[in-house]
Chain A
Amino acid sequence: KAGVTQTPRYLIKTRGQQVTLSCSPISGHRSVSWYQQTPGQGLQFLFEYFSETQRNKGNFPGRFSGRQFSNSRSEMNVSTLELGDSALYLCASSLVPGANVLTFGAGSRLTVL
């Protein structure tokens, strides 16, 4: 079966712009988590969605938001981009929250100039 699909894979934005990233989980997986990965901070938890509801949120400013659709696909949005938002954004899915094993997508590499 198809894995976790993230689009776009690469994108370049300028400061002040906004960006939307998309994640399609494995078929049947209803929980989607987002992580930000940077060289200095490692993998930081952004948020988790299940049944179109945000279950948990990491320690990120309100510029970072997300949502999940009825087909379990998820999007995350970053508004008013800052240079420090440059990172690899990883999406992971699991059957349900607490199912423990996460399946990751290849990530979306965001560069903010």
Chain B
Amino acid sequence: SQQGEEDPQALSIQEGENATMNCSYKTSINNLQWYRQNSGRGLVHLILIRSNEREKHSGRLRVTLDTSKKSSSLLITASRAADTASYFCATDSNNNDMRFGAGTRLTVKP
């Protein structure tokens, strides 16, 4: 079963704008990760944030984690057409296998 749920399901923005995606999960976690998937391809790891961290940055990516609300957000600043992809959050279960949400489809128009 899925652990995370991303919101919105789809997001369309203009190049240069910021994109924010949200993820909610159900049970306690050790960490939360974000992955990116280009159309029909494998997923690529973007960033990992541990349960004792509240914010993390990597280049144009900013991830926040609120364990009290069981939610996380991914912000992509100054988006580019090449950022067009699906973005997934993933959380580890008690057995340490990773469970993924349904993803947010981001379209960045040039």
* Residues of A in contact with B (beta carbons under 8 Å apart): 4, 33, 35, 41-45, 48, 55-56, 58-59, 88, 90, 92, 97-98, 100-107, 109
Write 30 A-B pairs (CB below 8 A) sorted by A numbering: A33-B97, A33-B98, A42-B88, A42-B100, A42-B101, A43-B100, A43-B101, A45-B97, A45-B98, A45-B99, A48-B97, A55-B95, A55-B97, A56-B96, A58-B1, A59-B1, A90-B42, A90-B43, A92-B42, A97-B96, A97-B97, A98-B92, A100-B31, A100-B48, A101-B48, A104-B35, A104-B43, A106-B41, A107-B42, A109-B40
Which residues of B lie under 8 Å from residue A102 when comparing CB positions? 35, 43, 45, 90, 98
Complex formed: what's the CA distance from A60 to B30 in Å?
A: 25
Which residues of A lie under 8 Å from residue B90 when comparing CB positions? 102
Which residues of B lie under 8 Å from residue A98 when comparing CB positions? 92, 96
Which residues of A lie under 8 Å from residue B45 when comparing CB positions? 101-103
**Which parts of B28-45 form the interface with A (CB within 8 Å)?**
30-31, 33, 35, 40-45
Would you call B27 an interface residue if the criterion is a C-beta within 8 Å of the partner chain's C-beta atoms? no
**Which parts of B60-90 form the interface with A (CB within 8 Å)?**
88, 90
* Residues of B in contact with A (beta carbons under 8 Å apart): 1-2, 30-31, 33, 35, 40-45, 48, 88, 90, 92-93, 95-103
Q: Is the interface of A mostly helix, strand, loop or mixed?
A: strand
